[in-house]
A = this chain, B = another copy of it.
């Protein structure tokens, strides 16, 4: 990609009652946009009747964007199928534990269905061959927010049996790996493997989840291979990776936000076939805007390839909760850049006048006229045009990693810590506290972790950990690393089978403590605050007790331990604490890791990196409606937005929802 930021929008002219392309492109241009994403989800428009293709609306967009000097990203349309495809073969709809999905909603597809695959292949070939030749088509998005959709269909189960056979060889080994003897679930012939939809063995179901994520990733790779047959070398392949969605409000309204690690797709696996990672990140706004989701999602997606990524969808005015206050839309945009985004595209251009997402509003309201959101987008567009070559290609070299693991997530759904505390709740508690302290980190899939790259590694509820990984972590600490692990880390192996010794398995020497009891905290306190959800009763051997439990009977046990081990240091946090307590641990651990702790904390957010020119940039993001003044923490910087220069100690004024981009002035 060249040294410009992508700034644009998803665009669905086919949803409009009347042809507005000229007016739309003109408005986009006036807002400084340089790219549109089209075609994903429009299969029934592109192929109205099986085998007959109508790319006229694509052509109109291609023509007008070319004329306007804009780029286009073409999405394969496969994530929403036309009704004729389901009439042709009802098995196109996925079968799940709740039965066969009904036609209507997007996505709920059986990705293994041959009819679907052959029709999808045809439409992809037609669309990509039709568009790849255009010079301003810069890349392709394959499918959209792909997941396994809870597939329990016959094909999926048959392939899973083959996979188990290959992995375990004998039923005996399978039984032992998952403790299937429990409740007479053991099998002694492969054909006795029961329907997984009734399975209550959490380990085996987690393995099924792992397998289904693999199949979903393979489906993406299959699409990428097809696209690769047609695309030019300079055209990228991307995909829109999404996060676990947290709902609030009405069932029917499409509300909620990007909350945590995606349970139904492994991002690291999925991204292997991509030339650039892409994502959508939605988040609370107005009084609830913290920037945490933008940072978390960006850190996760950037870490997949340790490179810049596309925000293929970001929110304009979606939902009544998210009508932005003045300044917030701009703050969102810079938040993405501060994480390393190569650009952003709004979802979407205009609000849709009918259909499920009628009130997932676009940049334009239903009246299709200029409005405050559109005008603020124009400010962003103009700034990016001016500063693009300074801002693009921001790279980071973080010294802290937080480790994500789909398998632990799946297993903890079956062996929950608490009704009200999920894997992602623990993850966000540990991530968000880092974020709020302005300790930047990579969010690294466990399969992508190279410990030696980091000074400090955080493991939130890393429940399933193969012995190989445990040895790596042991070596990491021995060699000088700082490990901070929460409760429920290192309890079970990769099949969610609990290790048959004291916890933390293989790492007792590293942590200098062991534990074989845990409890509901009840009235237990730690560090003066209530412990919540769980309290593992830690027995320090060589470790020091950083915080003990305040409780009549559990007072003999430690709640948080610290152990100097080899060149490094290992912390174990045995219970869910108040963030204040976690901050103290992080501060101490950062000290051990010789990581400098910034003087400011949320709502003042500092995120840094190095741009294409090798200059150091510090984003200063203010997530507050209050005005504030801070003292410049850098030796000598220039604000790219205002041109002001500051030296260490100079006062910097922060307005509500304000942004400064401070470039270090080379001496």
Contact = CB atoms under 8 A, between A and B. Distances in A.
B45 A184 contact: yes
A352 B176 CA distance: 12
Interface in A242-281: 249-253
Q: Which of A43, A192, A319 has the most CB of B within 10 A?
A: A192
B15 A366 contact: no
A40 to B, nearest CB: 10
A181 B45 contact: yes
Interface string A337-359: 00000000000000111111111
Contacts of A320: 518-520, 534
A181 B203 CA distance: 42
Contact of A353 (B80, B105, B179, B197): B179
Contacts of A552: 325, 625
B184 A80 contact: yes
Interface string A160-188: 00000000000000001011111111111
B355 A185 contact: yes
Nearest to A193: B83
A371 interface: yes
Interface string A42-55: 11110011000000
Nearest to A370: B516
B358 A287 contact: no
Contacts of A499: 353, 366
A317 interface: yes
A379 to B, nearest CB: 17
B321 A520 contact: yes
Contacts of A249: 418-419
A181 B44 contact: yes
Interface in A3-43: 12, 14-17, 41-43
Contacts of A17: 176, 500
A414 interface: yes
Nearest to A497: B354
Contact of A179 (B321, B354, B518): B354
A201 B356 contact: yes
Contacts of A495: 354
Given A104-B198, A198-B104, A354 B184 contact: no
A49 B186 CA distance: 11
A472 to B, nearest CB: 23
Given A104-B185, A516-B367, A517-B371, A356 B202 contact: yes
Contacts of A252: 413-414, 416
A368 interface: yes
Interface in A311-329: 317, 319-321, 323, 325-326
Interface in A480-506: 491, 495-503
A358 B498 contact: yes
A179 to B, nearest CB: 3
Given A203-B354, A354-B498, A49 B189 contact: yes
A220 to B, nearest CB: 19
A198 B371 CA distance: 36
Contact of A358 (B81, B192, B250, B415): B415
A357 B500 contact: no
A415 to B, nearest CB: 6
A425 interface: no
A287 B44 contact: no
A49 to B, nearest CB: 5
Contacts of A187: 44, 82-84
A538 B299 CA distance: 39
Given A193-B83, A252-B414, A43 B184 contact: yes
Given A44-B184, A200-B356, A249-B418, 17 more contacts: A14-B181, A80-B183, A83-B187, A83-B193, A84-B187, A102-B195, A102-B198, A104-B201, A182-B355, A201-B354, A250-B416, A252-B416, A253-B416, A317-B517, A365-B502, A365-B517, A368-B501
Interface of A: 12, 14-17, 41-45, 48-49, 77, 80-84, 86-87, 101-106, 176, 178-189, 191-195, 197-203, 249-253, 286-287, 317, 319-321, 323, 325-326, 351-359, 365-369, 371-372, 413-416, 418-419, 491, 495-503, 516-520, 522-523, 534, 537, 552-553, 625
19 contacts: A12-B181, A12-B182, A17-B500, A41-B182, A41-B184, A49-B189, A82-B187, A83-B192, A86-B194, A87-B192, A200-B356, A202-B356, A251-B419, A253-B415, A286-B522, A321-B520, A351-B498, A367-B502, A372-B517
| Cβ-closest 4 pairs across A and B | A102-B198, A179-B354, A182-B355, A104-B198
